[in-house]
Structure 1
Amino acid sequence: MCGILGVIGLGGPIGLTDLDAARMRDTMFHRGPDGAGLWRCPWAVLGHRRLAVIAPGPEGHQPMTTPDGRFALTYNGELYNDAELRGELESEGIRFRTDCDTETVLLALAVWGERAISKFRGMFAIGFVDRDEHRVLLARDPLGIKPLYAARVAGPAGSCLVFASDLAAVLAHPDARCTPDLVTVSAYLTTLRPTLGHRTLFEGIETLLPGEIRIYSARSDSQPDMRNIWSESSAAAEDAGGEVRDVVEDSIIRHLRTDVPICALLSGGLDSAIITSVANRHVPKLMTYCAGARVPGMDDDFQHARAMAECLGTHHEEIEVTRDGFLDRWHWMIDRSGVPLSTPNEVAIYEVAASLRADGHVVTISGEGADELFGGYAPAMRQAADHVAALAGAKDITGGLFHLDSNAWVPMGIKSRVLRDRAWNSSGRDEALRAFYTEEFEELRIACDGLDRLEPHLRFHRRMNLPNLLRRLDSATMLASVEGRTPFADFAVARLAESMPMCMKYAGDAPEQTKIALRRAFSGDLPIGILARPKASFPLPFQQWAGGMSSVLRTSHLAREIFTTEAVQTVSAAPEALWNLSWPMINIAMWGERWWGGMARHDPADCGLEAAV
């Protein structure tokens, strides 16, 4: 796993020195401390920071080019069907120079073009240049495991496309504008997601959606050709549950392929226990890690993870997160990542990643994705079931807004009291947010016609929630220079889960009535205490710790510009009691302090803040 960068002239020169390109690339040093590279042609520069995982020698250096120099690739990710694709390419007469999956991606794209993307099984973000055709292909894996951002930047030399793994790398371009997108800021306050469709928290910088492919012509400043390799299935196979164990176990084994030390994150919940139990049979002396806070009265993960580790015989480490450590790391992570945090346990994920990296591990496996695919999150599913029942057979045209309202952090009904008039009006009063949720759910409702009426709700939860969980894992682990792998968030596993009827996924609120097929498939491998345990994932007691950072609401330039005095005073006076408001508001305040306060690369007046509000 690595960090990628590209600057492409759109109809003209790029006007970027190697020094500027290297400075942009090296904002992502944490993503790739093992090597760095630049490649350029008259109209393009590609950059790369390498975290060496497969074939860690110099043969895996990037950007990588074909022998004739026509094609160049900067790539972040892992292919889990590398051997199969190599065999297919070799049958067509292709010869390989290395054992690195980067070369497989490069040659597959050179031979098959964009059709290759649908053949890739893995996690990836790709920038691929065809010098002869003056074309650039960007692509992201179907579930959104690896991030990829893109922006058009106008400068003295003309317009250019900038893409990168991190927002900070895009913003490091000399001509980039650092302006808050208040539509997305307002959406974040409600959803805790730093994106809204293609939009990010920075105006003009987009995220590629999971599964999205974009093809740009470097001959002109025209819009890219855009498509998506993921399509929703409307089929349900009654016997699909019998395949769960084979497909999930195969995915876990594929995710264990590495040339560097690998370990597992173990929370003591069902998902991480399944992954660890399979990995323990294939990785000698597997180490497992758990993180959390030791707070009286809180059910932390430590005892459950410890019991599972003892059952398996793994060498187990426990990483404690303290209040002071949490507050310090929270601010630091926003500073480094360029986005506010989504959940408090992002800090715990970082702390455990830093610890396992210090122990010599470069790769870890984690359980993200099982809930969204197999029907976890009992409270959300119960809410959806009640909503469907209340419709009494009527068409579910309000499903998206139901999810938006029932899961809001800062409810839209009080937004006008939280945001100043100028900010609230500039955000469009959340019209874009409401339209996005409505349109996304309607697309899934149509795709699921004929299936259980809960199916579009589960898929909607996957579409809204999973990419952000995967972004969270990627960001927190990569800040520690660790590759986080997610065997459940795998294309084959996702397709299997999609094909299963609802009765094999969710049937009620009790733990054993969620992720039914998954629990049954691995019931012989896990203790009953794990099989019956509710959802868990490195929880931290933010409600007790919120007061430690509430003062930033009064000092942050962005917070003063967008939040009302009433909201700041009310939340600052009782951040623990109003934690559903204090968490998103403090995050936005700290994010604003980084990009529009004293630490920002530009003065606030130069960052477009006044124009935004």
Structure 2
Amino acid sequence: MCGIIAAAGHLDLAPAVEALAHRGPDAAAVVQEYGVTLGHTRLAIQDPGSRSDQPYRDGPVTLVYNGELFNAPRVCALVESMDPRRNWTTTGDTEVVAAALATLGPEATLPELDGMYGLVWTDARRPGVLMAARDRHGEVPLHVHRGAPALIASELKAFRALGRRCGKAVVDVPPGEWWELYGGALTRHVFHRLTATPAPGLTRETAAAQLRHALARAVDRRVIADVPVCALLSGGIDSAAIVAELVRHHPGLTTYTAVLDPKSADLRHARETAEALGVTLVEVPVAPPTADDLTRALEVIEQPSKAQVEIAWPCLALASAMRADGYRVTYTGEGSDELWASYGFAYRGIREAGWYPYRRDLIAAQAVRNFPRVNKAFMSAGVEGRLPFLDPDLVTLALSMPEATVRDADTPTGRKAVLSAAYRDRLPASVLRRAKVAFQDGLGLKPIITSALPNPVRYYRAEHFRLYG
């Protein structure tokens, strides 16, 4: 995971690169070529040597890449099918993506990429054209400022560093799209749209077995890293299931949980899970936040949403603790609640939109909510967050499941029945039976924030406008 900033023209991007240094403390560079400017800050996860530094050139393509590719061998094979004499010079995924764009073109490359990413590139065969793409679920943020010249960045802070106010001038590249910017014009292309295809007749037992297999494969694909990794363990079933799969690769894995109230149910269940799975649990103390602390969280995640800010605050402490302990990659259960529509507010949406469309749209909506918050909160300390529940095969499977297969009933303890069934032999019964509890509520943040901010919604909106416009 890294930081990217690009301009559809020649521009001094040094201030923006500096503003993104937290996303990439290992290397930074800016190049101007083919009529555009590309800047990059690198967090080295794969092939950490300088040969994989960016901007990265491969033939006519110059690429800045923020993310991870989880099916590099397949993409390499596609490149080699068109270029049998291809000589790979690195062991990282940056070269793979750049080579695919140069050899196959974006139309053939992007549908094949299984990963989390934001890409920006230029091509000598199309001088002056700036191209950008975002992964199919929007796990990695990618913002476009429609000023002159147009800018593309991982975070709004890069625009601010260049003297740009944001507001309505900024749009996000939607998940599953790639854009071309040239001379003030914008052309949009779609390479993926999320769908939900029902699988009627799928039984709970069969679905649970398929889900267990799919999550195991999702984790298997995401363990690639040349640096130490850790995981979150919140006390809920989502992170517990991921840790249960990770320990096959990392026995004695180190996990982290936030602690505000030492008597909280979240902490008790996290401890039970850690003991059952034989992992180390690091308990990170989180102080009650002040108004200034919450402004800091808002500035990091760049969203004025009450829920997102309050979830982000303890995540900043977790990210700092992980980085201080030498970790650069962590795993989280984000995405699971959307797959199963386990939120209390989902009942009405399901009844109005339907079981399958509602969950599809709920996942899609997180490209501007949960997923950028995860990315920016952990990258504030140079830690990459990986989301195994967003594996393409797992998402397809989950969205195909009938409501009666997923749920016992629309009750807090029955909304993830299929996930509980999948892991009943691996996780404590108390965790399997737990009702869905919002992360910030499980920590006990709500009364503290109510005391610190009498009107948090108004406060967050005002602070976001002050910071970003």
- Per the normalisation by structure 2, the TM-score is 0.91
Larger Rg: 1
One-letter identity of the residue aligned with 2:464? W
Pairing partner for 2:381 from 462, 468, 480: 480
Per the TM alignment, residue 458 of structure 1 is displaced from its structure 2 partner at its CA by 2.4
1:142 aligns with 2:108: no
One-letter identity of the residue aligned with 2:77? G
Q: Equivalent residue for 1:371?
A: 337
Kept after mapping to 2: 8 A contact 1:326/1:347: no
CA distance in structure 2 between the partners assigned to 1:460 and 1:227 by the alignment: 17
Q: Equivalent residue for 2:145?
A: 151
CA distance in structure 2 between the partners assigned to 1:464 and 1:338 by the alignment: 16
CA distance in structure 1 between the partners assigned to 2:6 and 2:218 by the alignment: 31
Identity percentage over the alignment? Answer: 31
One-letter identity of the residue aligned with 2:109? A
Q: Equivalent residue for 1:100?
A: 92
1:51-72 Cα distance to aligned partner (Å, 9 max, x none): 0001111111001001x4x210
Per the TM alignment, residue 209 of structure 1 is displaced from its structure 2 partner at its CA by 1.2
Match of 1:46, SS?
Answer: strand
The two structures, once aligned, show a CA RMSD in angstroms of 2.1
Q: Equivalent residue for 2:168?
A: 203
Kept after mapping to 2: 8 A contact 1:365/1:484: yes
CA distance in structure 1 between the partners assigned to 2:436 and 2:33 by the alignment: 51
Matches within 5 A, 1:49-198: 49-66=41-58, 68=59, 70-92=60-82, 93=84, 94-114=86-106, 115-134=108-127, 135-154=129-148, 160-174=149-163, 176=164, 178=165
Matches within 5 A, 1:143-542: 143-154=137-148, 160-174=149-163, 176=164, 178=165, 202-216=167-181, 218=182, 220-236=183-199, 238-239=201-202, 241=207, 242-294=209-261, 299-323=264-288, 325=289, 327-340=291-304, 342-377=308-343, 379-384=344-349, 388=351, 399=352, 453-465=354-366, 467-536=368-437, 538-539=439-440, 540-542=443-445
Kept after mapping to 1: 8 A contact 2:175/2:367: no
CA distance in structure 2 between the partners assigned to 1:36 and 1:491 by the alignment: 31
Kept after mapping to 2: 8 A contact 1:124/1:141: yes
CA distance in structure 1 between the partners assigned to 2:393 and 2:449 by the alignment: 40
Kept after mapping to 2: 8 A contact 1:375/1:506: no
1:186-244 Cα distance to aligned partner (Å, 9 max, x none): xxxxxxxxxxxxxxxx121111111121123x3x3323233251242434254472421
CA distance in structure 2 between the partners assigned to 1:139 and 1:238 by the alignment: 37
Kept after mapping to 1: 8 A contact 2:156/2:302: yes
CA distance in structure 2 between the partners assigned to 1:357 and 1:106 by the alignment: 29
Kept after mapping to 1: 8 A contact 2:56/2:64: yes
Distance 1:497 1:504, change over 3 A: same
Kept after mapping to 1: 8 A contact 2:332/2:386: yes
- Per the normalisation by structure 1, the TM-score is 0.71
Kept after mapping to 1: 8 A contact 2:294/2:309: no
Match of 1:307, SS?
Answer: helix
1:262-304 Cα distance to aligned partner (Å, 9 max, x none): 00100111110000011112113310110031177xx441111
CA distance in structure 2 between the partners assigned to 1:45 and 1:335 by the alignment: 26
Distance 1:259 1:237, change over 3 A: farther
Pairing partner for 2:449 from 546, 552, 558: 546
CA distance in structure 2 between the partners assigned to 1:253 and 1:28 by the alignment: 30
Count of matched residue pairs: 457
Per the TM alignment, residue 109 of structure 1 is displaced from its structure 2 partner at its CA by 1.1
1:107-144 Cα distance to aligned partner (Å, 9 max, x none): 11112212211101010000011122223321101111
Per the TM alignment, residue 511 of structure 1 is displaced from its structure 2 partner at its CA by 4.7
One-letter identity of the residue aligned with 1:165? S
CA distance in structure 2 between the partners assigned to 1:542 and 1:306 by the alignment: 20
One-letter identity of the residue aligned with 2:312? E
CA distance in structure 2 between the partners assigned to 1:372 and 1:172 by the alignment: 34
Per the TM alignment, residue 492 of structure 1 is displaced from its structure 2 partner at its CA by 1.6
Distance 1:300 1:346, change over 3 A: farther
One-letter identity of the residue aligned with 1:117? L
CA distance in structure 1 between the partners assigned to 2:451 and 2:349 by the alignment: 36
Kept after mapping to 2: 8 A contact 1:24/1:169: yes
Distance 1:107 1:326, change over 3 A: farther
Distance 1:261 1:246, change over 3 A: same
Kept after mapping to 2: 8 A contact 1:149/1:167: yes
